[in-house]
Structure formats: structure tokens, C-alpha cells
Amino acid sequence: MNPITHTERSQQNYHQLCDHLVDGVASSFHKDPNQPYPISFERGEGAYLYDLDGNAYIDYVGGMGPMILGYAPQAVNAAVTKQIEKGTQFAAPFSNLLRLTEKLTAIIPCAEKLAFQNTGTEANMLAFRLARAYTGKWKIVKFEGQYHGWSDEQRISSDALRAAQFGRREQPNKLLEVSGQLPTAADQILTLPWNDGDLFERVLTKHGDEIAAVITEPFMCDSGPIVPKNGFLQKLREVTRHHQVLLIFDEVITGFRLALGGAQSYFGVTPDLAVFAKAVSNGFPLSFVAGKREVMNCGVHPSGTFNGNPISVAAALATIEQLANDQVYRRFDMLGQMFTTGLNKLGEEYQQPLHAAHFGAIIVLHFGRCDSPADFRDALNTLDQPYYDRFVTTALQYGVRLTPKRGRLYLSTAHTEREIRRTLEAFEQVFQLLTK
């Protein structure tokens, strides 16, 4: 594979955007701090993205997670086109809305009832409100390093430690991390390290009568990746139940990726509430809270102009139809196995400390001294971030697009053995360069 040498049009596009748009990108996550400028794309097809200069990239970013069927899949395009012709926004019920809610409540273990929003941030905010309304308590327990969205409360202790450790940003204080964040945002949030069931139990025994809910990614994907220790999720379930505290799973990433029914069906632990977004509609904005009937019916009425809009609902129905087939998840496993076995072997050959593993349609990479960190601090302390950053930058030059900063990659149904083989060939060239 020849390295990509021309990306001038991306550079020019970005520099012009910077004149008009904050940071030159629509979301801060669209830019890799290690690149002088982000690549601008003209189009995507299947597992590939094509930039403004015509270069092709095998993509594992998946639009930050949603693109579980790859780019521009025929089934979703057809469903959305059909819906566009019938109308895009009614602000009223429609028959596909019933079809989708019937499907989702059948697939997701905790989903007795649903409430739609557009983004993961909004749906997590709604879950907090539902938990507070239902329990009559105010505090929420979250885990260090976990990102649940960009609102004031959700940005408590999500990435400040990483930013401080790798010198990318001053750490304003331990918990608040972004400019303009309300100083009172941390007042009702208790932050704990992940994967420590005994500590969790002690905190709930002491403060359970003030705590409305515990929110966690069931598998730390956004900031990790960190796998739950055996029995940890079960412990969260038992202890929360004992103290009448609700358990919320943030399945914004794990939903539809670990399994059709999300991490809760993959790990066999059913929360009281769960939040889904991203992969449910393959690139159209849709999110929802799913939960126990009595909690969902507790008198919080979700508002939002575009909630459950017909376009996203049509896209979700088409996406789920494609995913509702055992073969799909078996194939993700097979491809994940091929990818991680190949990469781990290259790591050994080139004597690089890296560990790759796969879970459903998610591949996790840990470049560092330990193969499976227990919590966020452990991950940061054992991670060779500069090495990972160099790996991502060099892989991009060889036409493979990986997630910056965090070692999690997304497979789609459009990836085949061919793309994995080409990716491993590119990785070999990356290692050759990095170990020179």
C-alpha cells in the first residue's frame, strides 16, 4: 500500500472553515488534536470514506459509532427516501412510530416503555430527570472518566484526568472540566472509580437515601475501553436494588453493537433504565430512554421538536431489520477475531506492547503495559498515549482511519475479510515505520 501524500484540499477546506466556524469543525470530537488539520470527506460507501483529494480510507470511526451498516447502505437509503416523499416532520404520531416501539420493546430486556430524544446527551439528561422524579432523591452516582454527554452535569469528571495527564488542557479542578460549566453542576453528582464493587457498596450503604440513580456505561467504551470485572455489573444491580436506587445503563455506544439487545443482553444484567443512540439509526439522529413501566410513567413528559421524527424512525426500522439476524453478530465476532489475532501477532513480531480484543462490533486496543485496565486511572497510568497517537497518525497516512485518543474501533456489516486483510497489511507498514 502506498502512503497518502496529497491532502491539500482538506487542508484548504479546514482553513477556510476556521474563519467561519468555531474550531473549524462541527463537534470538538471531529478533530484529532494530533493532526495539523482534519481530513474533509466527499463521500462514504460501505466501509470506505473518500476525501476531497480522492483518497480512500478504510474507516473504523463509524461516524463516532452510528454507522453499523457502513456508509450509504441501500436499505436505509431506500427507507429514508420513501419517507422523505411522504413528509419529514409531523409533530404527531404515525404508524412507523408504533412499529419501531414494538420492535425495540421486544428486543431490549429493560424496555417496557420508551421515550425518544435526538442525541445521547439529551436522552441521558432525560434519564436523570426520570430517576429523580421517580425516587424523589437528587444525587446521581457516576464513574470517573465516563462521558455521558456535553451538558453541565454530564461533563463532571469525564475526561479532565486524561487532559491533565497528557498536558492537553489545564485541569480547572478535579471535577469541573469545561469553560462555562456551572460551578454547582457537581453538587448532586458523586464520582467513584469503576469496577470496585466493595467501595460502591460502602458508598450506597452510607448515602443510599440521597441517591436517585447510578449511571454507568456497562462496558467503558467512550473513555476506556475498560471491560467490567466478573460480577461487577451484577453487584451494581444487587446493591442498587437493595437501596432503592435506580440503575441506568448508558448504552449509547454498546447498544446494537455488543448485541442487538445491547450490553444488558450481552452481560445478562437488566438495568431499570437504559439510554440508546448512535447505532440505532445508522447515521440519523435518534436516541431513546428505555425502562421499567412504572419509572417511565412517573410523570416526566419528554418534549422536543424533533423527537422520534419520521426520517430517523424510518432509518431505525431499516437498520434494525438488517441487524436482526444472528449471522450479523456471528460475522462481527469472526471479523473481530481476525482483526485482533492479526494485530496481536504483529505486536509480538515487532515487540510492541499492545493488546487488542473484540466484543460484538467493537474492537478495543490498549497500547501499554497492561492488557486489561480496571478503571480510568489504571488505563491512563498504563497507556502509552503518545505511541497510540503516532500509530493513529501513521495508519491514516496508510489509508486506515482509527479513533483518535481512545482505542476503540467500530466494525460495520460492510467490513469484510478483504478490508481486515488490507488493514493488517497497512498496520505492518505502520510498525515498520514506527520501529525503525
Catalytic residues: 147, 250, 278
State the Cα–Cα distance between residues 157 and 134, nearest whole angstrom.
Answer: 25
Residue from the set 24, 120, 255, 342 that interacts with ligand PLP by CB under 6 A: 120
Q: Per-residue x/- marks for ligand PLP, 122-151, CB under 6 A?
A: --x----------------------xxx--
DSSP 40-88: PEEEEEBTEEEETT--EEEE-SGGGTT-TT-BS-HHHHHHHHHHHHH-S
Q: How far is the CB of 56 from ligand PLP (least distance, A)?
A: 26
Q: How far is the CB of 32 from ligand PLP (least distance, A)?
A: 15
Cβ proximity to ligand PLP, 332 vs 410, nearer residue: 410
Q: How far is the CB of 221 from ligand PLP (least distance, A)?
A: 6
121 binds ligand PLP (CB under 6 A): yes
Residues in 148-177 at the binding interface with ligand PLP, rule: CB under 6 A: 148-149
Q: Is 411 exposed, middle or buried (0-12, 13-18, 19+ CB in 10 A)?
A: buried
State the Cα–Cα distance between residues 208 and 240, nearest whole angstrom.
Answer: 8
Residue from the set 144, 250, 375, 389 that interacts with ligand PLP by CB under 6 A: 250
Residue with smallest beta-carbon separation from ligand PLP: 120
312 binds ligand PLP (CB under 6 A): no
Residue from the set 253, 258, 273, 286 that interacts with ligand PLP by CB under 6 A: 253
Q: How far is the CB of 191 from ligand PLP (least distance, A)?
A: 16
Residue 387 and residue 343 in contact, taking contact as beta carbons nearer than 8 Å: no
Cβ proximity to ligand PLP, 25 vs 424, nearer residue: 25
Strands (E), 226-331: 246-250, 273-276, 287-291
Residue type, 206: K
State the Cα–Cα distance between residues 223 and 380, nearest whole angstrom.
Answer: 10
DSSP 294-305: HHHTSS-----T
Tell me the number of residues near ligand PLP by CB under 6 A.
14
256 binds ligand PLP (CB under 6 A): no
Cβ proximity to ligand PLP, 160 vs 420, nearer residue: 160
Report how far Cα 31 is from the mean position of its chain's Cα atoms: 16
User: What Å distances lie between residue 56 and 32, 141, 418, CA to CA?
Assistant: 18, 43, 15
Three-class SS state of 211 = strand
Cβ proximity to ligand PLP, 250 vs 389, nearer residue: 250
Residue from the set 213, 252, 396, 411 that interacts with ligand PLP by CB under 6 A: 252
Residues in 201-220 at the binding interface with ligand PLP, rule: CB under 6 A: 217
Report how far Cα 102 is from the mean position of its chain's Cα atoms: 25
Q: How far is the CB of 136 from ligand PLP (least distance, A)?
A: 26
State the Cα–Cα distance between residues 153 and 389, nearest whole angstrom.
Answer: 29
Q: Looking at the DSSP assignment, which residues form a beta bridge with residue 248?
A: 215, 273
Q: How far is the CB of 8 from ligand PLP (least distance, A)?
A: 30
Among the residue ranges 17-25, 230-238, 245-253, 398-406, the one whose residues contact ligand PLP (CB under 6 A): 245-253
Binding site for ligand PLP (CB under 6 A): 64, 119-121, 124, 147-149, 217, 222, 250, 252-253, 277
